């Protein structure tokens, strides 16, 4: 709940600054586009950098299903619900933006005993992997929505995939050169990769690079991602000067939370009931959804006005649903102490 309160405060400060400074149409500036792309790149690199590869191998089948079938299932469910109720043609883009589980928010769940060690491992890896997958899917879905004439899209996207592969390959070669050098060179390589991806929009290549371009001390990256989240929330507040679409946002948030329950029901068969319940109630949104909303505001006017209340709705429902589940749901048996 403290994180929700902080988000509201920072967004409110951004809105107040825009009101007092009479700031309008920020999304139309070139600086806005570059800055929002940089924030997106930082969040994406932080997501893949935080993936524990050993844990991923241990639960590879479920994780692969979660970030392929699960992401698509959740996006389709959310988009279907929102479109049926509202008829908004942006439903698919909005659905993809809120489909992921925020790994920074999930980190708080890992500190209590609501989940078994196995379920914690699954949730941690699930949230870390589906974050970059969702970002890449959202970027491509937005491009398809902008360029409705699909004539030359296949060749363009194949070329884009090739450029992403080339980018990942170049970063890999750089990493091989600096991995045994002084740590400062690794930090510079990571900063260069993030800045280059933001400038060139090669996000898939950056997501891949995060799996092997690891920093000697990840605390710096964690602080950078936290700062990016705060800046994103403030920038979101600046864009909310025109108001919010509360009804659409609440609908989108409720659909996103329900989609996680559907995905968990399908994907977690065989786990204990209590773990299935908490995995089904695990939907949270944070930095990724905020940054994607900023990125797409320029092309889809009023996007932030919907995503902001949706994020708030998801996180509030998450807090209430999990408290209810803890109070009334099945409890994990406490191990007996031998006498």
Residue 339 confidence (pLDDT): 41
Asked if residue 2 is part of any domain, the answer here is no
pLDDT average, residue stretch 44-65: 74
Lowest mean pLDDT segment, chosen from 74-83, 201-210, 324-333: 324-333
Which range has the worst mean pLDDT, 104-113, 169-178, 214-223, 285-294?
A: 104-113
Nearest to 259 by CA among 310, 302, 199: 310
What domain range is 289 assigned to?
11-19+26-136+217-328
- Specify if 286 maps to a domain: yes
DSSP 1-43: -HHHHHHHHHHHHHHHHHHHHT---GGGSHHHHHHHHHHHHHH
d(CA 180, CA 317): 47
For the chain, state the CA radius of gyration. Answer: 20
Q: Does residue 167 lie in a domain region?
A: no
Average pLDDT (310-339) is 70
Whether residue 223 lies inside any domain: the answer is yes
User: Which segment, 97-106, 120-129, 232-241, 301-310, is predicted with the most confidence on average?
Assistant: 301-310
Tell whether 172 is covered by a domain. no
3-state secondary structure of 332: coil
Residue 38 lies in a domain: yes
pLDDT at residue 218 tops 80 = no
> What is the spatial distance between Cα 186 and Cα 45, in angstroms, rounded to a whole number?
14
In this structure, of 128-132, 168-172, 180-184, the range with the lowest mean pLDDT score is 128-132
Q: Which tokens in the block code for residue 260?
A: 């996680």
Assess whether pLDDT exceeds 90 at residue 233.
Answer: no
| 170 inside domain | no
In a domain, 129, yes or no: yes
The per-residue pLDDT for range 95-120, each reduced to its tens digit, is: 988 988 876 566 555 555 666 777 77
Domains: count for the chain: 1
**Confidence at 43, pLDDT banded by 50, 70, 90:** confident
């Amino acid at each position: 709940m403290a994180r929700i309160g902080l988000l509201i405060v920072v967004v409110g400060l951004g809105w107040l600054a825009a009101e007092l400074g009479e700031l309008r149409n920020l999304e139309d500036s070139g600086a806005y586009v570059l800055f929002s792309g940089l924030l997106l790149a930082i969040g994406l690199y932080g997501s893949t950098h935080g993936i524990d590869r050993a844990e991923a191998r241990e639960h590879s089948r479920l994780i692969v299903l979660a970030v392929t079938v699960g992401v698509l299932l959740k996006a389709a469910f959310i988009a279907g619900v929102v479109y049926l109720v509202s008829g908004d043609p942006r439903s698919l883009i909005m659905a993809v933006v809120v489909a992921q589980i925020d790994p920074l928010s999930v980190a708080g769940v890992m500190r209590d005993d609501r989940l078994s060690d196995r379920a914690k491992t699954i949730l941690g890896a699930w949230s870390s992997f589906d974050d970059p997958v969702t970002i890449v899917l959202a970027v491509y879905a937005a491009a398809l929505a902008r360029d409705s004439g699909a004539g030359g899209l296949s060749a363009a996207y194949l070329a884009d995939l090739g450029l992403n592969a080339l980018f990942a390959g170049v970063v890999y070669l750089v990493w091989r050169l600096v991995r045994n050098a002084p740590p400062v060179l690794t930090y510079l390589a990571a900063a260069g990769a993030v800045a280059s991806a933001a400038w060139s929009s090669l996000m898939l290549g950056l997501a891949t690079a995060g799996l092997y371009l690891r920093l000697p001390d990840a605390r710096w990256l964690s602080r950078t991602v936290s700062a990016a989240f705060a800046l994103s929330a403030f920038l979101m507040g600046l864009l909310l000067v025109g108001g919010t679409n509360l009804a659409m946002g609440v609908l989108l948030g409720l659909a996103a939370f329900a989609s996680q329950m559907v995905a968990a029901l399908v994907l977690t068969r065989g786990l204990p009931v209590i773990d299935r319940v908490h995995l089904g109630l695990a939907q949270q949104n944070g930095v990724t959804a905020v940054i994607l909303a900023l990125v797409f505001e320029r092309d889809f006017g009023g996007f932030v006005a919907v995503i902001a209340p949706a994020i708030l709705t998801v996180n509030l429902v998450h807090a209430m649903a999990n408290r209810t589940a803890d109070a009334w749901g099945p409890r994990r048996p406490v191990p007996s102490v031998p006498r």
